[in-house]
Chain A
Amino acid sequence: MDNRGAAIVGKTARLLVLAVPVGFLLLFFGFPVVNLLLTAFGQDEALVQIWAALGNARVGGVLWFTLWQAVCSTLLTLAIALPGCWVMARFRFRGRGVVSALAVVAFVMPTVVVATAISTVLADNGPLGWLLPPGADRGIGAILVAHVYFNLAVVLRVVSSYWAQLDPRPGEAAAVLGASPWRVWWSVTLPRLRPAILASAAIVFLFTFTSFGIVLLLGGPGQATIEVEIQRQVLFLFNVPAGAALSVLQIIFVLFILVLQTVLSRRLAAGDGVDARLRRPSRRVDRISVVTFVFVSLLVFGGPPVSVLLRALESGGGWGIDNFTSLASQDGRTVLSVSPLTAVGNSLLYAAVATLIAVTVGGLMALAIARTKTSVWEGIWLLPLGVSAVTLGFGLLITFDEDPIAWRSSFFMVPIAQSLVAIPFVVRSLVPALRAISPHVLEAAATLGASPRRVLRHVQLPLAGRAALVAIGFSLAISLGEFGATLFVARGDRPTMPIAIYRLLGTPGETNQGQAMALAAILILLTGLFVLLTDRWRTAGERYV
């Protein structure tokens, strides 16, 4: 075959590779979003209605709350994470891997579980209860704590990997010239870290701006993000047009943040490019810092999950596994129409299907993106991440309602919704690995005498394979814990674990509360397992989101 023929075949194959993910996203993402727009703008006197929906004082309050809690969460996360970043960026020490893995587990922990965990820690009878005023397990304080818990990993990863590559010499020079450590930090280090700090701040801001489960479970009266308000308008008040108008508003905000984040991340690439040289903490102050960091990290990341595990093992004033054994029964008097154990099975099955979809669709897209140099495609691919979970679930629910696409009661609706949430993470973990298999690497291997098959087997597959495992692990964890979208599309007789936990928590009675804790414990163990297994396969150059 001549070169031109090969080029045409290659092009056709490439188009086919693109057709699957593009078709999937158009149908299950683009179409529902357009339908939301139509619902919002398609009503009589649309603009008047939307203005009425958005203009009333409450929506103003919701916007304000969404914004300021996200700003506070972001600043708090940065303030708490930065000292840790310094330790992670500069020192080699025992426990480094454990801390970093725990942070990632916290990052993918289901929102329902984190909300449960944080409220057990802050509750009057919890480990921190004696320090706090009564009722601290609910309200803005609890929301901020949960947001920080989630997002520490983002800042730790992004900033410390960038910091490690910063040339330490300007700081050292300043110190030699007599600058105090504070001065060095403020005038030399901090300005140079700015790209990484801003990029991670944008990610944290995006996550907390679109926060749903945390605010739904921990928020007090009047504390609602746009996401929570959409849910309230739709499920409580049955005001679908108002929900759609809010969704459109949310999409606009999120697109703006995403663009900002893309711009900020692009600057991130331009670091000093110094090889990270971690040293052993030799000075006394270094050693104290490292020990404190490890100790505090273990406490912060480990405390909440452990407190849930302990609560799950409490029964009738003593210890026991009653809460776990009761999961198998369904006495017809609880809020769930099936036994909680069935929810575990449902979740695992949904997560497996969702992962299959996410890895297929996300993988094909990652192949396409890795070939291009522009980040336009990458941006488009991140849209589902931005069009937050509740908006997504709501869109799917009101879109696939009529023949010939009356699919909302189908089994596949839940895994499809979950896969849409997981796809951006899949793409993000695969693209760098596929890019790393750049023509240079392949050429280098070829120049060194490797046959094409050898290149594939010893270079491409191992690199991509590891990234694929990471993608699978993340997909599983995200699908298992997905709450916002699933809440809209899951059916009453087929609850997932997070839905079951949410329903049980909202129902009084020892048994219900105990079962919720036991389910949360199982979810923690499963999520932790998936992430820790894949964390071993993580390649060095990767970053989150």
Chain B
Amino acid sequence: MRTTAQKLSMVAVIGAVALALTSCTSQEAEQPSAAPPSPGSTVTLVTYDSYQISDETFDSFTDETGVKVEIVRAGDGAQVVNRALLTKDTPEGDVLFGVDNNLLSRALSDDLFEAYQPEAVAELPAELTDGTDGVVTPIDTGDVCINYDRAALKKRGIDPPETLADLSKSDYRGLLVVENPATSTPGLAFLLATIAEFGTDGFQDYWKQLRDNDVLVENSWDSAYYQQFSGGSGEGDRPMVVSYATSPAAEVIFAEKPPKEAPTAAMLSSCYQQIEYAGLLQGATNPAGGRALLDFMLSQTYQSDLPLNNFVYPVVGSATVPPEFDEFAPKPSDPAELPASEVDANRETWVEQWTTVVQP
């Protein structure tokens, strides 16, 4: 048929053009320079939606270096990393913050970052720098745990859950909201916590039970915590949510009248450790500014401002942690962890399996 012949020949032509274009791809000459950042320039930080930092903190960076900081928020944690991978070599900023230990291998295997670590990294404990390959810098740690609304559970006359298995009991039906592990890093961390608990064979059954127990899935931590959770600053009606071990402290600090007891609490047997990293993006337009920003992110100023804005623990030991953390948000003694190699090899499969079970 003439039509078919024409279309085929068009495809052939396009193919030839495509080959010609891809074959003359050149490798750009990239060389790390130790040059100081140029004052008056702007460095762009790409990060996740819920990221916060005090204006004064970046102002002090600008005072020191003359470099202004611009923040581009690109979705929830996992989306930020994927977007960066899709725009690799023509990145949307200079520094990316927010890739966590569970997604790190995806970023490293695709050469998303240009190798750079501030000198201060040498003083960090080895468990934090493991697996960074000298490419990315650990910035903070947190523990992803189930949080519950004390008052709401009391009102219903039920005890707080003690184990993950409890969550599938009928007492807790329709009470839990979680984040989608495909979009959100705390969501992924919680999925890994259930895999650590029930094994690769058992976790799907567990999630089936959670689904039958009417678990609610939100795409981002923001909407899960602020829109669906009933405790503290949440405006929803679900008394249990996947959040952080430090979230109860946040509820005390931001309460209009500081309460004696936090309105929410973390279930410490459900936690999974998260380490968040920052790195210099390959192809950054202001690499010198990016390096300076990474140095700054390990400074006393930045590290001490992190806990109250993002409710995470600083990696630098000498940084100040608000007293409320110790008082209202004890650290889990034994958070779950899976070997990094196992997470790397199975992450996508597990997320797909989760999706098949929970969102058929």
Contact = CB atoms under 8 A, between A and B. Distances in A.
Interface of A: 26-27, 30-31, 33-35, 38, 56-58, 61, 221-222, 232, 234-240, 332-333, 335-337, 376, 379-380, 397-398, 401-406, 408-409, 488, 491-493, 506-509
Contact of B106 (A31, A238, A397, A492): A238
A180 to B, nearest CB: 47
5 contacts: A26-B17, A238-B81, A335-B73, A403-B26, A406-B90
Contacts of A509: 226
B20 to A, nearest CB: 10
B101 interface: no
B126 interface: no
Given A26-B17, A404-B25, A493-B70, 14 more contacts: A30-B14, A34-B15, A56-B356, A58-B355, A235-B83, A236-B79, A237-B348, A397-B87, A404-B24, A492-B46, A492-B74, A507-B223, A508-B222, A508-B223
Given A34-B14, A376-B6, A507-B49, A236 B86 contact: no
B182 A236 contact: yes
Contacts of A61: 360
Contacts of A333: 52
Contacts of B70: 337, 493
Contact of B82 (A235, A337, A402): A235
B241 interface: no
A222 B87 CA distance: 28
Interface in B301-318: none
A515 B221 CA distance: 21
A77 B28 CA distance: 54
Contacts of A398: 86
A450 to B, nearest CB: 39
A493 B44 contact: yes
Contact of B28 (A34, A57, A403): A403
B78 A236 contact: yes
Interface string B174-212: 000000101100000000000000000000000000000
Interface in B53-74: 55, 70-74
B106 A408 contact: no
Across the A-B interface, give the 7 residue pairs with the lowest CB-CB distance, nearest first: A409-B90, A508-B226, A492-B72, A221-B359, A30-B14, A236-B182, A238-B82
B321 interface: no
Contacts of B11: 30, 34
Nearest to B220: A506
A379 B4 CA distance: 12
Interface string B336-357: 0000000000001001100110
Of listed A27, A376, A402, residue having the most chain B CB within 10 A: A402
Contacts of A337: 70-73
Nearest to B103: A238
B90 A408 contact: yes
Contacts of A404: 21, 24-26
Contacts of A239: 348
Contacts of B351: 237
B331 interface: no
Nearest to B182: A236
Contacts of A406: 89-90
Given A30-B14, A34-B15, A237-B351, A376 B3 contact: yes
A56 B352 contact: yes
B87 A408 contact: yes
A35 to B, nearest CB: 7
A342 to B, nearest CB: 13
Nearest to A376: B3
A50 to B, nearest CB: 16
B244 to A, nearest CB: 17
B299 interface: no
A238 B83 CA distance: 9
Given A58-B355, A337-B70, A507-B49, A402 B14 contact: no
A335 B86 contact: no
Contacts of A405: 21
Contacts of A336: 73
Interface in B193-251: 217, 219-220, 222-223, 226-227, 235
Nearest to B22: A402
Contact of B10 (A30, A491, A493): A30
A335 B47 CA distance: 10
B276 interface: no
B25 A402 contact: yes
B10 A507 contact: no
A57 B71 contact: no
Nearest to B28: A403
A26 B14 contact: yes
A412 to B, nearest CB: 13
Contacts of A222: 359-360
Contacts of A403: 25-26, 28
Nearest to A38: B18
Interface in B75-112: 75, 78-79, 81-83, 85-90, 92-93, 106
B358 interface: yes
B226 A31 contact: no
Given A30-B14, A236-B182, A404-B25, A506 B87 contact: no
B13 interface: yes
Nearest to A407: B90
Nearest to A239: B348
Given A238-B106, A404-B25, A506-B219, A34 B18 contact: yes
Nearest to A221: B359
A448 B226 CA distance: 75
B71 A332 contact: yes
A31 B25 contact: no
Contacts of B352: 56, 58, 237
B87 A409 contact: yes
A376 B4 CA distance: 10
B73 A492 contact: yes
A110 to B, nearest CB: 20
Nearest to B3: A376
A4 B52 CA distance: 73
Contacts of A240: 86
Contacts of A397: 86-87
Of listed B74, B180, B358, residue having the most chain A CB within 10 A: B74
Nearest to B10: A30
A282 B74 CA distance: 60
Interface string B1-44: 01100110011011101100110111010000000000000001
B358 A221 contact: yes
B92 A234 contact: no
A38 B21 CA distance: 14
A236 B106 CA distance: 13
Nearest to B83: A235
Nearest to B216: A221
Contacts of A401: 88-90
A333 B13 CA distance: 50
Contact of A506 (B182, B223, B348): B223
Contacts of B220: 506
B88 A237 contact: no
A31 B14 contact: yes
Nearest to B219: A506
Given A30-B10, A508-B227, A332 B82 contact: no
A151 B101 CA distance: 47
A58 B357 CA distance: 10
A491 B84 CA distance: 11
Contacts of A332: 55, 71
Contacts of B88: 401
B42 to A, nearest CB: 10
Given A34-B15, A401-B89, A221 B49 contact: no
Contact of A236 (B2, B3, B82, B358): B82
